[in-house]
Structure 1
Amino acid sequence: MSAPPASPFYRGYVLFILVVVYTFNFIDRQIVGILAVPIKSDLALTDTQLSLMGGLAFALFYTFLGIPIALLADRSSRTWIMTAALSVWSAMTVACGFAQNFFQLFLARLGVGVGEAGGVAPAYSLIADYFPPEQRARALSVYSFGIPIGSALGILLGGVLTSYLGWRSAFVIVGLAGLAIAPVFRLTMREPRRGGLDSAGAVTTPAKVVDVVSTLVSKPSFWGLSLGAASSSMMGYGLIFWLPSFFVRSFGEALPEFFSWMPDFLIPANAGPLLFASYFYATILLLGGIVGIWIGGAIADRYGPERKSAYALVPAAAFIATLPFFVIGVLAQSLWVAFPAFLALQALSLVWLGPVLTAFQQLVQPNMRATASAVFLFINNLIGIGVGNLIIGAISDSLRASYGDESLRYAILSGVVFYIIAAALFIVTAPRLKKDWAA
């Protein structure tokens, strides 16, 4: 028998506190994008080293520890796991502020990845147990607001705090803020009954690892969605990490003029292009990201229950639609052209989150949702974070002799192919979803 749902008020609070935690997840994850400019100068790093620090260092432990932590989450308290994860990644973010060289910063970012490995998959499982199937796409979309909010705040706080206090203080302040949230989360977040809002035949007893593996192997749509999302994430994470540097390098002199209307109290006396780049890109991330994620979840809840292929076709259409905006934004010579192009690109590139995350929760039984989500996150983040940042940085370094500071522009432009691959994988996967859907 299905469990009675929590009150609307408490379910609203659950989403709120989960979004807050996910926001800190992305603040600590993405703040290095805006801090890359002063870090490169202070520690004398190359673009390739920056990409290793910002991508691979985080992705290594984040991806490999995610699956064993998720297996634990399918058997024990998800709220305790998330509390511990938030505490660890926040403490390691503080440690980033004390790094004196590339190696120390690399190790600190590894630590951030260790903590964040337990921060997302358990949350997906919690949401599935607080919201019925017909509301999950929207609930998961609201949860995913933590991505644009956290990314925008990471970029904004990084730029502002660096302008006033330096990049080391930026790491320390945001890390301490996350540590302050951890006890609030633990004391107010209740552990729901596993599978309580699913059908009476839903399996809730702990699943064996071999059962999870055999279930996922038997569902080609899981792998198609995972690889499609990972392909798009190569550019999603790559853009978040590299666009602040791109704006500084290619539009440095134009950025202050773009914000000439801004009140003086928001601009410190020593403000440079970095601060204006943080304002510029944070606005794009916040507005574009929230609009795109909500639209994707709303469309999925509207059409997905009757036509399962919509969970793949909606993201595919969005990725195809990104192409002209991507090219226009990257090649633009004016910020007034680049801003709307990147705004549309940001919205369309995140439409996939609600539909795809909902599909993952429905392709398996409740007793293996956290583990299945962790397998997806393993694929998505190892490829998306670990490879996407590195490819753009390496291409930029290889083109520097010919294009100077503009090398990053053309390195980013080359990545448009990954959105095309993502769309193709989702289109191929769509017909299989109905067959693989869990009862």
Structure 2
Amino acid sequence: MHAPSPTVVDPATAPSPAESGSGTAASRRRSRYPWLVFAITFGLLLSDYMSRQVLSAVFPSLKEQWALSDSQLATLTSVVALMVGLLTLPLSVIADRWGRVRSLTLMAVLWSLATVLCAVATSFEQMLGARFLLGVGEAAYGSVGIALVLSIFTPRVHATLSGAFMAGGSFGSVLGVSLGGVIAVHLGWRWTFAAMAVFGLLLVAAFRATVTEDRLAAHAASDVAPSRTAATYRAPLRSLFTNPPVLAAYVGGGLQMFSAAVLLAWTPSFFNRYYGMPMDRAAIAAAAIVLLVATGMIVCGMITDRIGRDDITRKWIAAIAFCVVSLVCLPTGFALETGAAQLILIAIGAFFAAGSSGPIAAMVANLSHPTVRASAMGTLTVANNLLGLALGPFIVGVLADHIGLGRALTITPLIYLVAIAALLLGKRLHSLGVARLARLPR
């Protein structure tokens, strides 16, 4: 007489055969561990962006104390973005080979120690060097971190997790600037960096005590558990660029971030120029837009996983739909006269502006071999930065010099048309991508 099969209690993870008979308590522990990993990894992502963006909160103090120009202040910010753009892909590749847990630990320690160096810097040159090291430490955390998280969750929740993880950058930015400003007023600007560094190092200790390669392997989702014939197999790096729907996702993902980046960069100026708000109130209004963008990434990811539960290709459709909503709302909103109707349309467009990020990241993960998943996410991060986060604000700035900020903000969301075309192509080629991935050992 055979014993009944155990019940799987967590919809996001599935127990391994070795643990299937260990009872309900073991099942509950298994179901909680992936979410614990997600929480700690997400906490480190918040620390990443808090350490990066806290500098903005102390610009006035640095400018006065060190007699810095605006271009020097901008250099302290841009050097981090430069390092992220240059190093994300190579460091993601190294992490896939060397080990994601060790890589993430080293990255977090490096950016936390670099933040300590910011706190003790006594000149512009020292601060610039510290910010350089901070950028090196942060370069690949997002891509490697999300790859690690997705490795222990089944594909049906990948869009939700990807959207939530990517939204962490916006939440971390808001926290870093707001908390940094409060700490600077009460304790001085050096303590803002010190506080961020302590927060990061505490999370590093929690991460290192909780997350190990062995425990991740024991909790690996079924799509990443290696077969005996593939236990030592490593997918070639060229597979990152030879799968047609993945390439379409890179392009669509980067371009759908274009308008989101524009909103993050230019809404303070928009509220200042067109609503007559002083800079502090304009910053608060812009922070509300940032939170809408971040919240939309999470909610849209959840919607995508729900509608794509039975047919994964529906995730492409969801990503396209989110782009369409912003394509309609943002140009219409910015074209209207100032007032409630304009703000409502801009708010709706902002909510969906980066909503496709989760679905697109999920498709990249699902169509990439598990052994190069961090590298694939790193490539997507590069596309997001080059096609969206860097290009969007720059183009709006150039257009604003010639036609005004309002008209520039009205025109630039049309880039969604190209993003939608890329995503439609990705959906059409999805079956081809699945077939190519199936030819690689797993």
Counterpart selection for 2:255 from 231, 248, 252: 231
- Per the alignment, do residues 311 and 197 of structure 1 end up closer, same or farther by CA in structure 2, a change over 3 Å counting? same
Match of 2:70 in 1: 45
Match of 2:432 in 1: 435
Deviation at residue 111 of structure 1 after TM alignment: 3.1
User: Partner letter of residue 143 of structure 1?
Assistant: F
**What secondary structure sits across from 1:120 in the alignment?**
helix
Counterpart selection for 2:291 from 286, 295, 315: 286
Counterpart selection for 1:27 from 50, 63, 67: 50
Larger mean Cα displacement after TM superposition, 301-310 or 77-86? 301-310
Alignment of 1:387-398 (within 5 A): 387-396=391-400, 398=401
Match of 1:259 in 2: none
CA RMSD, 1 decimal: 3.5
User: 1:130-162 deviations in whole A, cap 9, x for unaligned?
Assistant: 212223333333333413422332343355556
- Per the alignment, do residues 183 and 189 of structure 1 end up closer, same or farther by CA in structure 2, a change over 3 Å counting? same
Bigger CA radius of gyration? 2
Retained in 2: the 8 A contact 1:322–1:345? yes
Question: How far apart, CA to CA, are the structure 2 residues paired with 1:332 and 1:104?
Answer: 47
- Per the alignment, do residues 12 and 308 of structure 1 end up closer, same or farther by CA in structure 2, a change over 3 Å counting? closer
Alignment of 1:373-412 (within 5 A): 373-396=377-400, 398-399=401-402, 407-412=404-409
User: Partner letter of residue 91 of structure 2?
Assistant: I
Larger mean Cα displacement after TM superposition, 334-343 or 59-68? 334-343
**What secondary structure sits across from 2:85 in the alignment?**
helix
Match of 1:242 in 2: 266
Alignment of 1:234-313 (within 5 A): 234-253=258-277, 273-290=278-295, 292-304=296-308, 306-313=310-317
Match of 2:331 in 1: 327
Retained in 2: the 8 A contact 1:236–1:349? yes
Deviation at residue 329 of structure 1 after TM alignment: 4.7
- Per the alignment, do residues 251 and 155 of structure 1 end up closer, same or farther by CA in structure 2, a change over 3 Å counting? farther
| TM-score calculated relative to the size of structure 1 | 0.78
Counterpart selection for 2:413 from 413, 416, 425: 416
Question: How far apart, CA to CA, are the structure 1 residues paired with 2:326 and 2:155?
Answer: 29
Flag structure 1 segments of 5+ consecutive residues without an equivalent.
Answer: 254-272
- Per the alignment, do residues 319 and 284 of structure 1 end up closer, same or farther by CA in structure 2, a change over 3 Å counting? same
Match of 1:369 in 2: 373
- Per the alignment, do residues 128 and 91 of structure 1 end up closer, same or farther by CA in structure 2, a change over 3 Å counting? same
Match of 2:222 in 1: 198
- Per the alignment, do residues 169 and 341 of structure 1 end up closer, same or farther by CA in structure 2, a change over 3 Å counting? farther
Match of 1:315 in 2: 319
Flag structure 2 segments of 5+ consecutive residues without an equivalent.
Answer: 1-14, 20-26
Larger mean Cα displacement after TM superposition, 4-13 or 165-174? 165-174
Match of 1:261 in 2: none
Retained in 1: the 8 A contact 2:140–2:378? no
Deviation at residue 185 of structure 1 after TM alignment: 2.0
Deviation at residue 395 of structure 1 after TM alignment: 4.1
- Per the alignment, do residues 125 and 334 of structure 1 end up closer, same or farther by CA in structure 2, a change over 3 Å counting? same
Match of 2:105 in 1: 83
Deviation at residue 50 of structure 1 after TM alignment: 7.1
- Per the alignment, do residues 304 and 171 of structure 1 end up closer, same or farther by CA in structure 2, a change over 3 Å counting? same
Comparing both chains, which one has the higher relative contact order based on Cα–Cα distances under 8 Å and sequence gaps of 6 or more?
1
Question: How far apart, CA to CA, are the structure 2 residues paired with 1:29 and 1:111?
Answer: 11
Match of 2:86 in 1: 64
| TM-score calculated relative to the size of structure 2 | 0.77
Between the aligned residues of both structures, percent identity stands at 26
Match of 2:9 in 1: none
Q: Does 1:212 align with 2:234?
A: no
Retained in 2: the 8 A contact 1:156–1:279? no
**What secondary structure sits across from 1:207 in the alignment?**
coil
- Per the alignment, do residues 222 and 247 of structure 1 end up closer, same or farther by CA in structure 2, a change over 3 Å counting? same
Retained in 2: the 8 A contact 1:309–1:433? yes
User: Partner letter of residue 340 of structure 1?
Assistant: I
Question: How far apart, CA to CA, are the structure 2 residues paired with 1:246 and 1:119?
Answer: 32
